[in-house]
Amino acid sequence: MYTYKTENFNNILKEKIDYIEEVISDYLPREEGEQKVIFEAMNYSVLGGGKRIRPMLMMETFLSFGGKDMDIVHSFMMAIEFIHSYSLVHDDLPAMDNDEYRRGKETTHVKFGETIGILAGDGLLNYAFETATGAYFKTADSQYKDRIIESLQVLGKKSGIYGMIGGQVIDTCILEGQTITDQNKKKLVEELNHMYTLKTGALIQASMMIGAILAGASKEEVALVEEMATNIGLAFQIQDDVLDVTSTTEQLGKPVLSDQRNEKITYVSLLGLDKAKEEVAYYSKKSLDIYKQLGISNPFLYDLINMLINRDK
CB burial of 77-101 (b: ≥16 within 10 Å; e: otherwise) equals bbbbbbbbbbbbbbbbbeebbebeb
Provide the pLDDT confidence category of residue 255 given band limits of 50, 70 and 90: low
Q: What is the DSSP string of 3-66?
A: ---GGGHHHHHHHHHHHHHHHHHHHSPPS-STTHHHHHHHHHHHTS----HHHHHHHHHHHHTT
Instruction: Answer whether residue 179 shows pLDDT above 60.
Output: yes
Query: Percent of the chain scored above 90 by pLDDT?
Result: 78
Per-residue pLDDT reduced to its tens digit, 143-155? 999 999 999 999 9
The residues that bridge with 102 in the sheet, in sequence order, are 105
Instruction: Answer whether residue 251 shows pLDDT above 60.
Output: no
| pLDDT the model gives residue 259 | 54
Residue 271's contacts (CB-CB under 8 Å, 6 or more residues apart) are: 189, 279
Provide the pLDDT confidence category of residue 263 given band limits of 50, 70 and 90: low
Per-residue pLDDT reduced to its tens digit, 47-77? 988 889 999 999 999 999 999 999 999 999 9
Q: What are phi and psi of 105, to 5 degrees?
A: -125, 160
Work out the average pLDDT over 244-251.
64
Lowest mean pLDDT among 145-149, 235-239, 251-255: 251-255
Per-residue pLDDT reduced to its tens digit, 129-140? 999 999 999 999
Q: What domains does the chain contain, in order, with CATH numbers?
A: 6-309 (1.10.600.10)
Q: What is the mean pLDDT of the chain?
A: 92
Instruction: Answer whether residue 114 shows pLDDT above 70.
Output: yes
